[in-house]
Every structure is written in structure tokens, then in C-alpha cells.
Amino acid sequence: MAITEVDEKSIHIIKGCIDEDRRAQKDLYTIYYAMSLGICLRYANHRDDAISILNEGFFKVFKNISKYDFQKPFSVWIKKIMTNTAIDFYRAKIKQGMLVDVSMYEHAMVEDDSISQKLDYEDLLAMVQQLPPAYRAVFNLYAIDGYGHEEISGMLGIAIGTSKSNLHKARGRLAEMVEVQGVKFGKTEEKR
Amino acid sequence: MMEKDKNKIDEIFKMGLSDANFDFDESHWQDIESRLENEKRAKKRKTVVFMTLLATAAAVLTAFFIWNSELFKSKNVSSEINGASISPGKEVLERKAVQPKENTVGEPIQDNGWIAFQPIRRTNSAVQLPNETIILQDILLSKIAETNPIGIQEGRLNTTFTIPHMEYNTRRLPRFNLKDEPVEGLGERLAAIYKPKESIESNTRERERSVVSFLAGPDLTSVRGAGKTSLSENIGLAYSYPLIKGLSVSVGATYAKKNYKSAYKFYTPSNPPEMTQLPSNVSAVCDVLDVPLTANYTVLKSKKVKFNVSAGLSSYFMLKEKYTFDYEGGGSYGGSQKSAVYEVSGENQHIFGVADFSISIEKKISDKINIGVKPFVKMPLTGIGYGNVDLESKGVAFILGMSL
């Protein structure tokens, strides 16, 4: 169960982490494991990358925990670190967003035929992970994490127009994938 | 795509992906835990390196200031002594009793023609020696003047004395009766009381000589935390150069055959091979060229025995590394084969990667030859070898040294 507010127990754990107490660090890791892994999986190509991002993110959390402002929700702070770590992980690919390998996407579409018709978490995650990193990052930041295009442009180091364009293309591809699963949407305008 | 479709897509993914639920995987924690441990160790190593460098810098600075202050003193003394001359205007003929500067033994000072000297220091100081020297010269001249007033009158007007830096003998100086003692022989007596410092300095320089030492001995090598130690051998040469009295620097080259065993979990190779099963244990045999650079301080010294403490940094040059990986139940290398060997030559160097601490007791057996024992500890500041293991050595070296 995640800590939803900075209560006394959380403060105790965070202070333990500041003192580099290994038990406190493990407690914190255990508590935020699921939430953080969820974020990392959304931004990653696959599970192995997600685990790498997760531990890189937690390493940053432990290294910088003394900078945490106790007045703010800890979960927001840790979410931001995980998101930024994931973006850093794919930064080079995100910047080369237009040069992504489309064949990978097409191959994934073929694989989609075998997945369950029910859109559960695993299905949705698989669809998001099939997006090229540049599209996926913008879609995650905008549609799920609630950032605006201006912020996304700053975070990813891309133009606002590129951010909007990538979002549009990401939605188009996701719509196609969802359509394959039986949910109908209006025809996408994206030309591939 | 219609706006409502856009929103629907966003909504489907936002709702569907927000409720992630995963079981905690202990192995993921173990990965980050080992990374945190490595980080902690690296931090400790940095602290040790920093402290060692700080201590070395402090030692060097201290040595530098001590050395310079000695030089400074010597220069002052030399200049003052060289500038000390008997001035023509000085009243040298007046008979006077020269008072000691301090009556340290509490003896009464008599003003009956006796001149009592009570030297209170082993070495003349920059300020006082010239005065005392001048006084002594005055005494001599006054005595000569008594016997040959004309000659001294002429002599003192034309003579300037340059007196070398002198040092007292430790024994108490005698008393002179300037009335009765003949002038002849007084100079010789004074010369016997004083020794020119030059000769003392040259003796000191002789004692502090550079030394070439042959070292050999065993050590117990282990991977920190593994709890297993293995016997290793070392043989090498070292050269010590004296900086100042009691402080020297040494550089050397030691060939070491390092044997060590540990569980594979202590290995963190930079480029691990792809393995379907990790080895359980590793036995290593490594040929290492150890190049230490140390500062040595002589804590105690008698005529024949001296006791040194040393600290410094060693560089390890891994000449050849041979690792035998043992697998439980045969592992990925086949059912019957239970181990695999990996060899690497000349690929790993660790410049100042090991902290080096030792003490040594040396006994002089002749003017040039000394023997001794040197217990030492070598602590890793960085991962050593292919496996980046924390390799420690604790041993003793036997020394045969030759002064140059």
C-alpha cells in the first residue's frame, strides 16, 4: 500500500533513508514498488527496461532524498523522479522521434491478433509499449500524467509543435490497436 | 480523429493504466541493494583516499616548513656570525667580568677576575651566539693586550674576525681565570669546547642516507567480506630517500603472486560473460606488480635499531589473472564439467588503487647493512582485477637494506 500523505510513519521512513538506513530504504522501496513500476512500464519498451528504469529511479530517490520537501506529497515527488528517469532513459530516441522504426510497430500489430479481446491492464500496457519512444513519451505525459504541451516540450527538449504532432500520431496508432480489439473509433488522419 | 475519440482514447489508457498492481519482487531490491552497497564502499574508498592524500599533504607541508625553518635559521646565524667583527671603536681593553646569561645551576657569580660560562643550550641560537662569540673574542684580545698592548692596538684596528657557526658540546664549560691563565693554549681550549657546526652537520648527513632494500615475505590475501584467506608470496625492491631527519619517501616494485577465493557474489566484472547459471565460487591466481609510494616516519631510533611507520598508496599492475569458476551441479558448462577457467593478461591496472600501511623494525648490522621485519596491510580503494573485488592483503616482509 502506498503512502498517500506524509504521515508520521512516512516521515520516519524518509528520515531513515536520509540516514542511509538500509531497512528504511527497503521499506520505502517496497511501499512505492508497484506505483513506480507501473510508471516505468508505461514509458519503457519492455519489462527489462522498466526494471532498469525503476532501479535507476530509486537510486536517484535515495541519493536525493535529503532534498525532499516534507510539505509536499511524497508520491508526487517520486512519480516525477520516475518519469524523468524514464525520459532520460529514452532521451536520445525521443529526440530522434521521426526516425523510429515503423516495422517494429507493424510487427507488433501482427502480434496483437493473438492477444485477448478484453482491454485489461496488460493489453493496454502492451499497446503503449508498442509505440515508438517519442510518441509514447508524449502520450504518457499528456494523456496519463497530465502535463501540457509547453511543459512536455521543455521536458523532452522538443518543439511544442512536435509534441502536438507526436501526441496526435500516438493516439492514431493506439486507436488502430484498440480497434483491432473490437472497439471502434473514427478513422485516423495519420498517414503512415 | 474526432475530439471525443481523442478523449476516449486518453480516458481508456488513463483509467486502464493507473491502477497498476504488482507483487514485490525481492530480486529487484537485491539489485539496487548491491548498487547501494557498492556506492557506500566507493564513498568509503574516496574518504580513505582523501584522508590519505590529506595526511600525505600535511606530512609533506610539515616536512617542508621544518626543513625551511632550519635553512632559515642557518642563514640567519651564518649572516650574523659573518657580520660579527670586532669594531675598532669597541672598548676591548677594559677588564670586565662576563656574566652568564642565565645562572641555571644556581652558582654564585664571582667578580674576581673569573669569567664563568654556563651554556644553557645545546645549539647556539641565531641571536645569542654572535654576542657570546664576540665576548669571547674580546676576552682573548684583552688578554693579549695585557701582554702586548702595542701589538693589539695595531691588530684590532686592522683585523676583522669571521667566526664560523659553532655549536656547544653538551658538557658544562669550564671557568677561566683571565688573570692567571696563560694566553697560550686558551685558543686550543676554546677550540676543544666548541665544535664547528659544519662537522656536526656532515655527520648528520652521513646518518640520513638513502637506502635500497630487498623485501620478501608472505601475506594473507582475501576478498573483503568473503571470509576466506589464502597464502600469497611477495618479493621486491624498494628505494628510500631521506627528506628531513626522520622522514623519508619510498618507492618500490614488488612482484606478488596473489591467491584468493570467494563466492561469485563478490565479483562485479565490468563485462560479464553471458551465463545461464552464475558460478558459486571463484578461485583466483594473479601475478601482480605492486608499485608502492609511501611516506615513512622514524618514530624511535637508537644507535642500532629504528622503528618506522609508513603510509602511502600502491598501484597494482595485473600481469596475469587466472580465474577458476566453480558451478554447483555442473552448471551451464555441461553435466560433468563443474568448473570453467578464464584467463586475462595485462588488462587491468589500478593506479594508486590500494592504501598501503606498514610498520617496520630495522637493526643495523654494519655501517651499510641493516635487516628488519615489516608487517603491512594493503586495503583496496578500488575494485581489483577482472572481478573488481575488494582485495586485501595482510602480511610481513623481511628486509635486507643497504645504505648508499
pTM exceeds 0.90: no
- Per-residue cell: A174: 493506439
Beta strands in B245-277 (DSSP E): 247-263
Q: What residue in B sits closest to A142 (Cα-Cα)?
A: B10
Is residue A75 scored above 70 in pLDDT?
Answer: yes
Ordered by where they begin, the domains of chain B are: 75-203 (no CATH), 208-271+278-403 (2.40.160.20)
Contact in structure between B124 and B138 (CB atoms under 8 Å): no
Short-list B37, B175, B190, B26, CA closest to B113: B175
Task: Examine the pLDDT at B177 and tell me if it is beyond 80.
Answer: no
| Rounded CA separation A119/A125 (Å) | 10
What pLDDT digit, counting tens, does each position of B83-107 carry? 444 444 444 444 444 444 444 444 4
Half-sphere exposure of B372 (CA within 13 A, CB side): 24
**Inter-residue contact B377 to B358 (CB < 8 Å):** yes
Q: Which residues of A touch B25 (CB under 8 A)?
A: 33
Element (DSSP H or E) covering residue A183: none
Q: Is the ipTM of this complex over 0.85?
A: no
Closest CA to B306 of B373, B235, B214, B397: B373
Q: Which of B1, B17, B18 sits opposite A189 (nearest CB)?
A: B1
Which candidate from B9, B14, B32 shows the least CB-CB separation from A58?
A: B32
Three-class DSSP category at B321: strand
Min CA distance, B17 vs chain A (Å)? 6
Its sign, for the CA torsion B52, B58, B59, B64, is positive
Residue B116 pLDDT:
45
How far is Cα B129 from Cα B82, in angstroms, rounded to an integer?
12
Q: How far is C-alpha B109 from the chain's CA centre?
A: 49
Beta bridge partners of B314: B292, B354
Catalogue the E-assigned strands of B269-368: 281-301, 305-326, 339-364
DSSP A139-164: HIIIIIS---HHHHHHHHT--HHHHH
CA distance B277 to B155: 101
Alpha-carbon gap, residue A43 to A83, rounded angstroms:
8
pLDDT (0 to 100) of residue B354: 93
| Grid cell 587466472 in the structure block, residue | B322
Q: Are B297 and B330 in contact (CB under 8 A)?
A: no
Q: Evaluate if residue A44 carries a pLDDT over 60.
A: yes
Judge whether residue B189 has pLDDT over 70. no
Q: For residue A32, which residues of chain B lie inside 8 Å, CB to CB?
A: none
Report pLDDT for B258: 93
Q: Which residues of B touch A (CB under 8 A)?
A: 1-2, 5-6, 8-10, 12-14, 16-22, 24-25, 28-29, 31-33, 35-36, 40
Query: Which of B12, B36, B40 has the CB atom closest to A119's CB atom?
Result: B12
Beta strands B247-263 and B339-364 are unpaired
CB pairs under 8 A between A and B: 94
More confident residue, B173 or A136: A136
- Residue B396's pLDDT is 93
A165 — pLDDT class (breaks 50, 70, 90)? very high
Identify from A26, A122, A191 which residue to disrupt to test chain B contact, counting B C-beta atoms within 10 A and taking the largest count. Answer: A26
Tens-place pLDDT, residues B191-236: 666 655 555 555 554 567 889 999 999 999 999 888 888 999 999 9
Map out the domains of chain A with their CATH numbers: 8-89 (1.10.1740.10), 93-180 (1.10.10.10)
pLDDT band at A179 (very low <50, low <70, confident <90, very high): confident
Average pLDDT over residues A138-149: 92
Nearest to B16 among A62, A121, A188 (CB): A121
* Residue A98 confidence (pLDDT): 43
Q: What is the mean pLDDT of chain B?
A: 74
> What pLDDT score was predicted for residue B250?
93
CB contact under 8 A, B1 and A22: no
Q: Reduced to 3 states, what is the DSSP secondary structure of residue B247?
A: strand
- Of all residues in chain A, the one with the smallest CA distance to B23 is A34
> Which positions in chain B touch A36 (Cβ < 8 Å)?
none
Closest Cβ opposite residue B36 in set A25, A139, A172: A25
pLDDT tens, position by position, B286-338: 999 999 999 999 988 888 888 999 999 999 999 999 998 887 765 444 445 57
At residue A182, the pLDDT reads 66
Min Cα separation A48/chain B (Å)? 11
Nearest to B282 by CA among B387, B391, B394, B354: B387
- The 10s digit of each residue's pLDDT in B3-18 is 666 778 888 888 888 7
Q: How far apart are CA A57 and CA A83, in angstroms?
A: 8
State the average pLDDT over residues A2-8: 59
Do the Cβ atoms of A175 and B14 come within 8 Å? no
User: What are the distances in angstroms from CA B366 to CA B19, B201, B246, B305?
Assistant: 84, 22, 20, 12
Handedness of CA B232, B238, B243, B245 (dihedral sign): positive
Residue A28 pLDDT: 94
Predicted local distance difference test score (pLDDT) of residue B193: 63
Contacts of A123 in chain B (CB under 8 A): 16
Distance from CA of A189 to the nearest CA of B (A): 6
Q: How far does Cα B88 stand from its chain's mean position? A: 52
- Four-point Cα dihedral B238, B244, B245, B249, nearest 10: -20
Are A124 and B13 in contact (CB < 8 Å)?
yes
pLDDT number for residue B281: 87
What local confidence, expressed as pLDDT, does residue A117 receive? 44
Residue B115 confidence class, pLDDT cut points 50, 70, 90: very low
Residue in chain A closest to B22 (alpha carbons) equals A34
Compute how many other C-beta atoms are within 10 angstroms of the C-beta atom of residue B363: 14
Instruction: Give residue A70's pLDDT.
Output: 86
Distance from C-alpha of A107 to C-alpha of B379, rounded to nearest angstrom: 54
pLDDT, residue B51, reads: 79
Query: B interface mutation test: which of A55, A123, A164, A167 has the most B CBs within 10 A?
Result: A55
- The partner residue sitting opposite A144, judged by closest CB among B14, B21, B25, is B14
Q: Which of A13-22, A132-141, B14-23, B278-287 has the lowest mean pLDDT?
A: B14-23
Report for B153-162, B188-197, B262-271: range of highest mean pLDDT: B262-271
Q: What is the pLDDT of residues A83-116, one digit of tens each?
A: 999 988 877 666 554 444 433 443 333 334 433 3
The amino acid at residue B1 is M
CB contact under 8 A, A172 and B1: yes
